[in-house]
Amino acid sequence: MISNSLIFLAISDLAGKTRGKSFPAVDLDKRLKTGLGWTPTNVQITCFDTIATSPFGALGDLILQPDANAEIHVDFEDGAAPERFILCDITSLDGKPWNFCTRTLLKTALARLKLACGATLLGAFEHEFQLAGEHPTLNEAYGLTGFSQRRTFGETLVAALKSAGLAPETFMKEYGQEQFEVTIGPERAVDVADAAIIVRELTRATARRLGEKATFTPIRDVSGVGNGVHVHMSFVDDRGEPLTYDPNGPGGMSALTASFAAGVLKYIGAIVALTAPSAISYQRLTPHRWSAAFNNLGLRDREALLRICPFTATDEKDIARQFNIEYRAADAAASPYLALAAIIHAGAQGIEDALPAPTITEEDLSLLTPEELSARGYTRLPRSLEEALDTMNASETVCGWFPEGFAELYTAHKQSELAFVADLDISQKCAAYEGTY
Ligand code: GLU
Ligand code: MG
């Protein structure tokens, strides 16, 4: 059959969906300069393809401006067309960054962090997802059989990620039914979130090519575990020297890391609407699901909001490079750009305000009474997206991190999404989200 190779210009929007437009590959040089047209109101397309109230209406024009350093070209060598897409910023017609471009919001947050303490982020998103096969594999948590049944999937995915320039580290049969996890090595600054998009889209592409379907929905069935997105973070200076670790600091944290963590804990109630942004995300953020339910920093604790991760190195220099903290209250309904921007702003605020190191917990906070929790400065994370949005909107500080009008736009967007699922029972809601993520 005749065919002309197409390249897709991609953005990750407020709904955490990868959207955009394509053009013939022969025009690549031209399109790297001119980009493709885009519509402001597209920012209000929800994950269910409803259009939320938009201040732009039918007016205005924008550009999808491709980043030549973020071009993905993966030939699966299966006879089908390669996956080709380029990650973009959204700009106005005169080339200025658009206020509501998620990738630009992340760049702004990273610049603030740099200004606050000279740090550049090194980080990696760890993704869990579930496959839908014809014959579900039962009782195979971490099982060799469960893994072997999807070995071809794992090997294809790892090859695809490598071919896209990432550094795949592990692939495993996770605990949940048909649940898998893929991890990659750290990237730098905005590449951290670019890599998360690449992982999600190549996972979906691998599944499609093998006749399967992959879902990153926050939770597929509330009687099971959720699909977490865990964000690993460390910091380096301009020479690439690690800034995260101090052997004499609490839990091994440098003062910078400690204040960053304190900022995240302080503002978690108001940022979680941006990192766990679906109606069902809050079914996952409950105790004993190894996600996160309280505003705590835990030492090697998989129920903590922020986890100080273990290291295997013995040499101090290597420890300093390995040392990282992990944010666990994120899921793939969030654009990785927006989720990371929110976390980085919260951490940078903590650094700017020189917040003291949080207490490090090594206990099950769900066993404490509400009085005990509040006496010790802990709060339960919001229990619904509505509560999370209210908390965000009540924080002038958090709304102030984003351009004027952003909080209103995001809230209207999420209200339209919530209205779409309002009359569904919980299993219908889960099915709706599985259908979109
Ligand atoms: N599935 C858990 C989550 O929702 C994470 C389990 C793990 O620690 O890998 O975050
Ligand atoms: Mg996991």
How is 277-317 classified by DSSP, letter by letter? -STTHHHHSSTTSSS--BS-EEES-TTSSEEE------SHH
Any domain includes 166 = yes
What pLDDT is stored for residue 144 in this prediction? 96
Q: What is the distance in A from the centroid of ligand 1 to the CA of 213?
A: 20
Same domain, 12 and 125: no
pLDDT band for position 23 (50/70/90)? very high
Q: What is the distance in A from the centroid of ligand 1 to the CA of 225?
A: 7
pLDDT band for position 168 (50/70/90)? very high
Is-above-0.85 flag for pTM?
yes
Q: Which of 174, 281, 303 gets mutated to test ligand 1 (max ligand atoms within 8 A of its CB)?
A: 174
What pLDDT is stored for residue 137 in this prediction? 78
Q: What is the CATH number of the domain that holds 20?
A: 3.10.20.70
Same domain, 270 and 416: yes
Q: Is the pLDDT of residue 363 over 90?
A: no
- What residue numbers bound the domain in which 86 lies? 6-98
Any domain includes 230 = yes
Report the 10 Å Cβ neighbour count for 285: 29
Same domain, 134 and 43: no
Any domain includes 57 = yes
Any domain includes 395 = yes
What is the pLDDT averaged over residues 203-208? 98
What pLDDT is stored for residue 52 in this prediction? 97
Same domain, 91 and 131: no
**How far is 263 from 359, CA to CA, in rounded Å?**
13
Residue whose pair of structure tokens reads 């990785």 in the numeric block:
336
User: Last residue of some domain: 98, 124, 149?
Assistant: 98
Same domain, 70 and 209: no
What pLDDT is stored for residue 401 in this prediction? 98
Count of the separate structural domains present in the chain: 2
User: Last residue of some domain: 98, 122, 148?
Assistant: 98
Same domain, 214 and 77: no
Any domain includes 11 = yes
Same domain, 389 and 266: yes
pLDDT digits (tens, 9 = 90+) for 226-282: 999 999 999 999 999 999 999 999 999 999 999 999 999 999 999 999 999 999 999
Closest ligand 1 atom, residue 302 Cα: 8
Q: What is the distance in A from the centroid of ligand 1 to the CA of 436?
A: 21
Q: Is the pLDDT of residue 135 over 80?
A: no
Per-residue b or e along 154-167, where b marks 16 or more CB atoms closer than 10 Å to that residue's CB: bebbbbbbebbbbe
Q: Is the pLDDT of residue 136 over 80?
A: no
Report the 10 Å Cβ neighbour count for 117: 19
What is the CB < 6 Å shell around ligand 1? 128, 225-226, 228, 284, 289-291, 302, 328
Percent of the chain with pLDDT over 70: 99
Residues 6+ apart with CB under 8 A from 51: 41, 44, 45, 416
User: Last residue of some domain: 83, 98, 113?
Assistant: 98
Same domain, 90 and 123: no
Same domain, 160 and 31: no
Same domain, 90 and 116: no
Same domain, 231 and 214: yes
Any domain includes 1 = no
pLDDT band for position 369 (50/70/90)? very high
Same domain, 283 and 358: yes
Closest-lying ligand to the alpha carbon of 283?
A: 1
What are the backbone angles phi and psi of residue 299, rounded to the nearest 5°? -85, 110
Q: What is the distance in A from the centroid of ligand 1 to the CA of 382?
A: 18
